Amino acid sequence: MAPARHRLPRRSRTVRGRIGLVRPGSAHPPRRSTRLVGALSLAILTAGGIAHIAVTGVNDSISRVDAFSGIENRPGPTRGTNFLLVGTDERAGLNPADKKRYHLGGTPCHCTDTIMLVHLSQDRTRASIVGIPRDSYAELPRPAKINAAYAVGGPKLTVRTVERMTGVHIDHYLEVDFTSFMKTVDVLGGVQVCTTHPLKDSYTGLDLPAGTTTLNGGEALQYVRSRHLDGASDLSRMHRQQRFLAQVVARVADGGMLANPVKLGRVASAVLGSVRADQDLGTTDLIALARGLRGFGPGSSEFTSVPILEMEYEVKGVGSTLRWDNAKAAKLWAALRQDQPLAVRRPASRHPYKEVEIPPSTIRVQVVNGTATPGLGTEAEQALRATGFDTTRAPDSATAGGVKRTVISYDPRWDRSARSLAEALAGAELRPVPGQGPVMRVALGADYRRVTPVRAGQPLPATVTGDHFVCP
């Protein structure tokens, strides 16, 4: 059968609200990757309550792989169920038009560029999703990056490596590639993502406007593959994947979809028929999940990644790797083994803090009202001061009052401060002015709506629940 064309209507773009997600700007060499929405959606779809007929009807279409036979000295079973979800850069079945349109050319490396460990609690009320960076230092037994395990020894070596490094028993293995990812997103009717800034990546072809955008399968693949949007590279890409998966959970958990057996069957067929799974994942397992995970939603999921001690750990013959913080990681793995939640439960904030590189208190800001709205400069200046910026407390007013877009003028010597300020002013244009000095000058335009609260720190909290990621 010829591969299906991934053709949804072009992006449906609606700006409903803005939450901070990613920062632009980076210049790292391209790397291949693939995503896990198809595999995780399998678990979430059953969590949503797929009927017996929807599961049994497609069980025989699941491609099987031997992921466990012959592995010795495995960790003991834990409460709950642990899935190892991996993504490969295989692109068999993609038609030439999609390869060109979504920048999917090149030769695959036959490796796992994405690895996630998913724990479904014993009471089926929580999914804990831990991202494992592809560049993590590992021993296979020779020193290597963990993503090399698949290329060297396939699923078995990948499972064995993760189990030995985490001490967590893997119950099931799921694997997706480019084609299965795109098919899954398309059959869901697209998935929304949110960003405060336009996102562009010439390597993947990603081109998103600020606001909320509904992506089809190919566009979603561009979004989760992009790693040239900020300096954190693979780690930020992993966080972006987690946000996307939270949106998938929200999409699948929608009441209308769960109440429609026909649509559920169609989605289940697409998802279950486009992944590779271990030989023991059968109909009985899926139906047990379906019965136990009713009511599962975004707030039921929690996301984190392995704590990193050293970002550029040089290994002879391997290159730069990521070295785990073993003390902190041990607590993470112990929580999974003990079936304990990872996140501190708190209500989702509609306007969460955005993390920036430079502390706002060290950034001097002069506000100018470039609009004809009286008092707007004072309002913006007070909002910037409230979130920590060192404002001049004397906003000026432009005489013409015809500025359409907010502009941040800055001296290139303070470019990192300017980018941090831009995170608080969604959609603002950055305009370098050599010799201006350390004070940032903000000319408010007609597009100004509000100041997004920011603070210095890591790109994301250590662990967050999925409802913090869902588009408003």
Q: Among the listed ranges 27-31, 173-177, 380-384, 387-391, which one has the minimum average pLDDT value? A: 27-31
Report d(CA 110, CA 90) in Å as an integer.
Answer: 7
pLDDT in tens, 312-365: 899 999 998 989 999 989 999 999 999 999 875 544 445 467 878 788 888 999
Question: SS3 of 454, please?
Answer: strand
Fold of the 358-456 domain: Alpha-Beta Plaits (3.30.70)
pLDDT in tens, 52-95: 445 555 566 678 899 999 999 999 999 999 999 888 766 666 67
pLDDT at 432 over 60: yes
Residue 21 has pLDDT above 80, yes or no: no
Least confident range of 143-147, 450-454, 464-468: 464-468
pLDDT at 286: 61
DSSP letter string, 166-185: H-PPP-EEEEE-HHHHHHHH
pLDDT-wise least confident of 390-399, 419-428, 434-443:
390-399
The mean per-residue pLDDT over the stretch 415-442 comes to: 91
Listed residue (179, 180, 207) closest to 42, CA to CA:
180
Question: Residue 202 carries which DSSP code?
Answer: T
Average pLDDT over residues 82-111: 73
Tell me the per-residue pLDDT of 190-225, one tens digit each, with 9 for 90 and over: 888 887 678 888 778 888 888 889 999 888 888 887
CA distance 165 to 144: 13
Local structure of 359: helix, strand or coil: coil
Average pLDDT of the chain, as a whole number: 76
| Stronger pLDDT, 324 or 272, i.e. the higher one | 324
Which band of pLDDT confidence, cut at 50, 70 and 90, is reported for residue 11?
very low
Residue 31 scores a pLDDT above 70: no
Strand 12-14: give its sheet, edge to edge: 12-14, 211-215, 191-195
d(CA 78, CA 337): 5
Look at 285-294, 411-420, 427-436 and tell me which has the smallest mean pLDDT. 285-294
Res. 377: pLDDT tops 70:
yes
Q: Are 78 and 215 in contact (CB under 8 A)?
A: no
Confidence label for 231 from pLDDT (cuts 50, 70 and 90)? very low
Highest mean predicted confidence (pLDDT) among 247-256, 276-285, 301-310: 301-310
Most confident of 45-49, 89-93, 448-452: 448-452
Count helices and strands (H / E) in the chain. Answer: 13, 25
- pLDDT exceeds 80 at position 7: no
Q: What is the DSSP letter of 136?
A: B
Residue 293 has pLDDT above 70, yes or no: no
Q: What is the pLDDT of residue 162?
A: 97
Spacing of C-alpha 175 from chain mean position: 17
End-to-end CA distance of the chain: 40
113, pLDDT greater than 50: yes
Instruction: Taking residues 168-174, report their average pLDDT.
Output: 94
Region 244-272: mean pLDDT is 65
Q: For position 72, what pLDDT does the model report?
A: 93
pTM beyond 0.75, yes or no: no
Q: Distance between CA 272 and CA 269 in Å, rounded?
A: 5
Q: Which of 122-136, 157-171, 395-409 has the highest mean pLDDT?
A: 157-171
Identify the pLDDT of residue 157. 96
Reduced DSSP (H G I as helix, E B as strand, rest coil) percent helix, strand, coil of the chain, to 5: 35, 25, 45
Q: What is the mean pLDDT of residues 281-291?
A: 62
> What residues does each domain of the chain span?
12-351+460-468, 358-456
Burial class (CB in 10 A: 0-12, 13-18, 19+), 204: buried
Q: Which CATH number does the domain 12-351+460-468 belong to among 3.40.50.10540, 3.90.1150.10, 3.40.120.10, 3.40.630.190?
A: 3.40.630.190
Task: Count Cβ atoms below 10 Å from residue 249 Cβ, excluding itself.
Answer: 28
